[in-house]
Amino acid sequence: MYDVIVIGSGPGGYVAAIRAAQLGMKTAIVEKYPTLGGTCLNVGCIPSKALLDSSEHYHNAAHTFKTHGINLSSLKVDLKQMISRKDDVVKQNVEGIQYLMKKNKIDVYQGLGSFVDKSTVKVTKDDGSSEQIQGKNIIIATGSKPSTLPFIKLDKKRVITSTEALNLNEIPKKLIVIGGGVIGMELGSVYGRMGAKVSVVEYMDSLIPTMDKTMGKELQKSLKKLGFDFYLKHKVVEVENKGKEVIVKAENAKGETVELKADYVLVSIGRRPYTDGLNAEAAGIKVNDKGQVEVDDHLRTNVPNIYAIGDVVKGAMLAHKAEEEGTFVAEVIAGQKPHINYNLIPGVVYTWPEVAAVGYTEEQLKEKGIKFKTGKFPFMASGRARASMDTDGLVKVLADAETDEILGVHMIGPRVADMIAEAVVAMEFRASAEDISRMSHAHPTYTEAFKEACLAATDNRALHI
Amino acid sequence: YATGHASPAAAKILAEKGLDPKDVKGTGKDGRITKEDAEKAEKPAP
């Protein structure tokens, strides 16, 4: 009998397992894929960042080296090598998780985990053999899968999801990205930088529509420079694979039909919670009509000894959100009282410039009727950014009009994926904009832009603009 | 506004002790409750 069984080995699952083991609980983890790590490590965050990094190197070599005083001849992309290096990175990370399981004495079961009853999980291997394990507590961490539209047939050759986009054997001449969200903009960038003509078809009126509107606008400007074109407020109505060509039809706001042709179409309209084969009903677990496992504030399902975390429950589908929830649940099971501030989980888009945000957006503050001040600082005015020629973007700080408390920080620019951490810490301690602007920031660094935006928010007294 | 605000670690300790951050004096900047404040905090005598 295990104290804890975790079903799913993504960032939520394996972190939950490690934390449970740290707290002295006998722990097992069940994974149906041959490798641990889940979507993030195998077909998500890690491989996409590997390709984003490689393609950005190529893009710099092709477009900025000359200005830097570096002359190259016969520059070309070896896509096979690029993908193979990405595979090595994935392999190293997966092996790292295996090592962590061993180190923490967590039993790993490879096979599909499904409920037999509320404390029994059947593990079915690919060869059909199965065994049953029992746990006092069970954590569902089965994650998500790419979603599609009912009329789009994902053939995985020409009409692809993010998974296939990480393993193409040629650079598309023309790539249509359906959905202007994070995954589409990242993978669109990978191939756009290497010469693909990228067209983005998005139903909403802005890119990355869940983020502050300023971010979507600025990202659109930057991607336009890469040669992207945009069909915002366009509703896709038909996708047809003609063999070597795919035709996408979309309706614009006026109801007119626009026809686009490309050799590849990436469908990135979101991800859906994944519970196929889990047999949740055998344990009496409620799954809502969106396919999410229903949980209370303690991430407990309607069955008291069964918890659920990550993409399979409500909330932002982010690896670090799942990780926080994994730690949270393990500690709750151990009798502790942890908390998660969901408003302070940062969101990052790994395009270049990067986009990162934490706290409320301007639109949310307006909707809530909260009076706020705005401070902005463009990277164009940053000495560090000019030195590296990464001058696209800005930092935007939203602070309470009366108390000066920081309510939201939105960044688009170089290395903001890492810079956002300062804003998270500041907001966890409820810092005011003035607090940040009175802290020393190393010069020259990109983070000075955050200090300057805080100065601008406090009293409109930025120094360098 | 930050007076009486517990840091993430302090908030967890206070929750486990069953203490309300309002009953704890914070010694951090602007009255923020630090981890040390939470560790030292005791239930007020009824």
Q: How many other CB atoms are there within 10 angstroms of residue A391's CB atom?
A: 17
Chain B interface test: which of A370, A372, A430 (most B C-beta within 10 Å):
A430
Residues of chain A neighbouring B2 (CB-CB closer than 8 A): 405, 429-432
Looking at residue A206, its pLDDT comes to 96
Buried/exposed code over A230-261 (b: 16+ C-beta within 10 A; e: otherwise): bbbbbebeebebeeeebebbbbeeeeeeeebe
CA A155 vs. chain centroid, Å, equals: 24
B29 touches A at CB < 8 Å = yes
Contacts across the A-B interface (CB distance below 8 Å): 31
Report pLDDT digits (tens) over A156-176: 999 999 999 999 999 999 999
Residue A437, CA atoms < 13 Å, CB-side half-sphere? 24
Which run of H or E residues covers position A396? Answer: strand A394-400
Cβ–Cβ below 8 Å for B32 and A430: yes
A443 catalytically annotated: yes
Give the pLDDT confidence score for residue A436 in this predicted structure: 97
Tell me the C-alpha to C-alpha distance, in Å, between residue A437 and each of A397, A399, A426, A450.
Answer: 11, 13, 11, 8
Q: Is A400 on the interface with B (CB under 8 A)?
A: yes
Q: Which of A339, A400, A431 sits opposite B11 (nearest CB)?
A: A339
Distance of alpha carbon B11 from alpha carbon B18, whole angstroms: 10
Q: Give dist(CA A249, CA A98) in Å, integer.
A: 45
Cα A231 to Cα A199, A238, A307, A351: the distances in Å are 7, 15, 41, 19
CB atoms within 10 A of CB A305: 15
Contact A405 B32 (CB under 8 A): no
Q: Supply the pLDDT for residue B45.
A: 65
Of the candidates A336, A428, A431, the beta carbon closest to that of B16 is on: A336
CA distance A180 to A184: 6
Residue B2: pLDDT band with limits 50, 70, 90: confident
B16 touches chain A (CB under 8 A): yes
CA closest to A405 among chain B residues = B1
Who's near A367: CB < 8 A, 6+ residues apart?
A: none
**What whole-number distance in Å separates Cα of residue A104 and Cα of residue B12?**
24
DSSP letters, A273-289, are E--TT--GGGGT--B-T
Distance from CA of B30 to the nearest CA of A (A): 10
Mean pLDDT per 10-residue segment, chain A (465 residues): 98 98 98 98 98 98 97 96 98 98 98 98 96 98 96 96 97 98 98 98 96 98 98 97 96 96 98 97 96 97 98 98 98 97 98 98 98 98 98 98 97 98 98 97 98 96 92
Could B12 and A428 be called an inter-chain contact, meaning their C-beta atoms sit closer than 8 Å? Answer: no
What pTM was estimated for this model as a whole? 0.96
pLDDT value of residue A241:
96
Please give the pLDDT value at position B46: 64
| Catalytic residue selected from A57, A63, A68, A443 | A443
Which residue, among A357, A33, A322, A47, has the nearest Cα to A183 in the 3D structure? A47
Q: Supply B34's token pair.
A: 């630090």
Choose among A83, A455, A324: nearest CA to A464: A455
Nearest residue to A63 via CA among A158, A178, A195: A195
Helix A11-22 to helix A79-103 angle, to the nearest 10 degrees?
20
A460 at the B interface (CB within 8 A)?
A: no
Residue of chain B nearest A339, judged by CA positions: B12
Measured CA to CA, the distance from residue A142 to residue A155 in angstroms comes to 24
CA pair distance A394, A168, nearest whole angstrom: 33
Q: Which residues pair with A450 in a beta bridge?
A: none
- Which residue from B5, B12, B16 is facing A430, i.e. has the nearest CB? B5
Using only C-alpha atoms, chain B has a radius of gyration, in whole angstroms, of 9
Tell me the nearest-neighbour CA distance from B14 into chain A, angstroms.
Answer: 9
Q: Under an 8 A CB cutoff, do B12 and A429 touch?
A: no
Residue whose tokens read 């969901």:
A342
Nearest 5°: the CA angle A233, A416, A220 is 20
**Least CB–CB distance from B16: residue in A337, A429, A432:** A337
Tell me how close the Cα of A248 comes to any Cα of chain B, in angstroms.
Answer: 49
pLDDT in tens, A81-125: 999 999 999 999 999 999 999 999 999 999 999 999 999 999 999
| pLDDT of res. A420 | 98
Strand-pair partners of A250: A236, A258
B46 close contact with A: CB closer than 8 A: no
Q: What is the largest CA-CA distance in chain B?
A: 29
- Dihedral over Cα of A138, A144, A150, A156: its sign: negative
Whether residue B43 is predicted with pLDDT greater than 80 in this model: the reply is no
- In chain A, which among 310-369 make CB contacts under 8 A with chain B? 336-339, 341
Report the C-alpha gap between A300 and A295 in whole angstroms. Answer: 5
User: Measured between alpha carbons, how far is residue A316 from residues A7, A144, A277, A322, A342 in Å?
Assistant: 20, 12, 23, 9, 9
Residues of chain A in contact with residue B28, where contact means CB-CB under 8 angstroms, are: 429
Probe site for chain B from A337, A342, A343 (most B CB atoms < 10 A): A337
For residues A366 and B39, give the distance between their C-alpha atoms in angstroms, rounded to a whole number: 39
